[in-house]
Structure 1
Amino acid sequence: MANFDFDQAEGLRRMLAGPRPRIVTFLSILKDEEKNAMLANLGASLVQGGSDVLLVDARSVSKGIASRFGAARRATLLEVARQEKALDEVIQPVSQGLGLVSLARVRQDLGSLSEAEMQRLGTSFDLLARQASVVMVDGELDTNNAFPVSAMSDGQIVVQMSPGAASLKSAYSLIKRLNACLGRRSFGVLVTGASEDEARLVYENMARTASRYLAIQLNFMGSVPADEHLGRAANLGRSVIDAFPLAGASVAFRRLAGQLSLS
């Protein structure tokens, strides 16, 4: 077992020191490849804009954001909570200046945690988040419509969707699950694979429905158009803003990064 010096008082002092990081949990109804491309390119755009960005893979499947970078799940935050690893072992540097962390190897591991371990997992996440200015979580809800760490619920939550009736239905169903667990609060909506006009129409339809039947407010985060440069950049192992800075997707990601930094 690793030497794990987890002093609660010192941990709290570190948590309270310095500016509070922005924690954004992304939930997507789209294919893993589309979601991972969005997270990687948005993260790279935030880094280019001067943010220190940490990506957290909190998925229970092997196709989370870690798979985008071909990163094996080595030390995890759950191992820190179980006092098997040290906190400084979990951050893995990846391309574009991003840091990558895996929450656990499989979601089933989280179901066996004691109350003390759950508390340590939450505190470990808070301490880890303090090492970045923006924490982007590749998240999912469990069978109880909850997140494994309370900071994910407390931070900003963004639902990624695409245009079309089926996407609208699935995204609304996801927001209903969030509302059932977290109560009335606002959620962000990001529409990818759509023009700005298409995205706003999708958002307005969703927002009207959510307001009428759930009494909640949705916020339009922006849109990213369908763009062949996204695939070409991925094949080069680069972000689209790095490989093709003038592409439509690059412009959209820079605008989205700017909005996220200011919101």
Structure 2
Amino acid sequence: MGLALANPVQDQAEGLRRLLVRDFPRIVTVASGSAGVGMTTAVINLATALVRDGKDVLVIDENTGANNLGGTLGLRAHRDLLDVMRRDKTLDEVIILAPPGFRLLPAGRGMRMLGKLGSRDQAHLIDCFARFAPPADVVLVDAAAGRASRLLPLNCSSHEVVVAVSPESASITAAYALIKHISGEHGKRQFRILVNKARTETEARIIFDNMASAANRYLTVSLDFMGFVPPDDKLRQSVHLGRPVIESFPAAASVSAFRQLAESLTRWPYREGENNSEGGGLKGFMQCLIQAGQGSDTNPASAGSHGRREQQVNHV
């Protein structure tokens, strides 16, 4: 049997597709129903694994305080997305280059003000993200735990949402409640599940299967299994060191898991609108967040008060 000849037209089309996808990064929001699941640690190590795989990664951190993603790495963020909204700083001036090699955007204070932006501030912020360069291959969003997150109205079907859960019954209940809230209030129908601290894949699969069955039956929601990370003393030790476990203990059991998760993420099929100019990219993501934030600001007295909104942003 002769060798199959390469199809130059098909190869050219595939190359073009990759170039187009490069302009519209894969955007993944990692959420959890409660604190203590290990979500921030997972985001750090997933981002590091992606960087090691040659990907350009931007991490958006919605959390504030010493235990946020930057603080976990020993970084002090003197600026925030709010400074961009106020026009005090550019997006490039706010972003930090984290030691693992990914870019970090502290956004906790800014996210709280999205619902108060006037039309000119909205356009300014969207334009900042539209011109973001160099473009990222993957954007990971470390959302605040539970309903404290301002990213919950993620009804943009083109963006992925990963819900992190641990084997504890309270964590499973909180994760399911979060999925129920997001799907019921904001119409999100698809989620991916990351099981942290599961001793085996079998245990992780049982947790996922139970959640997926209940979500499908009672919420009409589809869940996909992203993977699991086993409990690992080296992972906990790396947190105390303020470094990714991939760098500190490359032979640790959890490192293999994070590498597999990173590889899996890059192979996810693109959802409708994820890699086009209408819904894809950071511009589309920010448009979605602003629209959701404006929708949640339903006070009639403030709905038409453009000047008051701008004043609130400038005096936070």
How far off is 1:244 after superposition?
Answer: 2.1
CA distances 1:201-258 after superposition (whole Å, capped 9, x unpaired) = 0000000000001111001110000000102223444322222222210110110010
Q: Which has the higher contact order (CA 8 A, sep 6+)?
A: 2
Q: Is residue 70 of structure 2 the alignment partner of residue 74 of structure 1?
A: no
1:133 matched to which residue of 2? 137
Q: Is residue 139 of structure 2 the alignment partner of residue 155 of structure 1?
A: no
How far off is 1:198 after superposition?
Answer: 0.8
1:260 matched to which residue of 2? 265
CA distances 1:89-138 after superposition (whole Å, capped 9, x unpaired) = 02111111121111243654445432432343344344438621111111
Secondary structure in 2 matching 1:226: coil
In 1, Cα distance between the equivalents of 2:188 and 2:28? 18
**192-201 or 17-26, which deviates more:** 17-26
Secondary structure in 2 matching 1:95: coil
1:225 matched to which residue of 2? 230
In 2, Cα distance between the equivalents of 1:180 and 1:57? 25
Q: Pick the aligned partner of 1:103 from 104, 107, 118.
A: 107
Name the TM-score, length of structure 2 as normaliser: 0.70
Alpha carbon RMSD of aligned pairs, Å? 2.9
In 1, Cα distance between the equivalents of 2:128 and 2:211? 36
Q: Is residue 216 of structure 2 the alignment partner of residue 211 of structure 1?
A: yes
Q: Pick the aligned partner of 2:168 from 164, 168, 171.
A: 164
8 Å contact kept, 2:191–2:223 = yes
Number of residues paired by the alignment? 248
* Change over 3 Å in CA distance of 1:146–1:108 after alignment to 2: closer
8 Å contact kept, 1:224–1:252 = yes
**41-50 or 149-158, which deviates more:** 149-158
CA distances 1:72-91 after superposition (whole Å, capped 9, x unpaired) = 23232232222221122021
Which residues of structure 2 form unaligned runs of 5+? 1-19, 269-316
* Change over 3 Å in CA distance of 1:106–1:80 after alignment to 2: closer
1:201 matched to which residue of 2? 206
How far off is 1:149 after superposition?
Answer: 8.9
**116-125 or 50-59, which deviates more:** 116-125
How far off is 1:19 after superposition?
Answer: 2.2
How far off is 1:54 after superposition?
Answer: 1.1
CA distances 1:130-171 after superposition (whole Å, capped 9, x unpaired) = 621111111148979852897977411111010132221110
In 1, Cα distance between the equivalents of 2:241 and 2:61? 23
In 1, Cα distance between the equivalents of 2:262 and 2:203? 20
2:52 matched to which residue of 1? 48
CA distances 1:19-57 after superposition (whole Å, capped 9, x unpaired) = 211111111235358222111111111111111111111
In 1, Cα distance between the equivalents of 2:173 and 2:126? 32
**132-141 or 101-110, which deviates more:** 101-110
Output aligned runs, 1:10-29, within 5 Å.
19-29=23-33
* Change over 3 Å in CA distance of 1:38–1:133 after alignment to 2: same
In 2, Cα distance between the equivalents of 1:225 and 1:142? 23
Q: 1:245 is matched by which residue type in structure 2?
A: P
Secondary structure in 1 matching 2:171: helix
8 Å contact kept, 1:184–1:215 = no
Q: 2:89 is matched by which residue type in structure 1?
A: K
Name the TM-score, length of structure 1 as normaliser: 0.83
In 2, Cα distance between the equivalents of 1:17 and 1:197? 34
In 1, Cα distance between the equivalents of 2:29 and 2:176? 17
8 Å contact kept, 2:153–2:182 = no
Which residues of structure 1 form unaligned runs of 5+? 1-15
2:190 matched to which residue of 1? 186
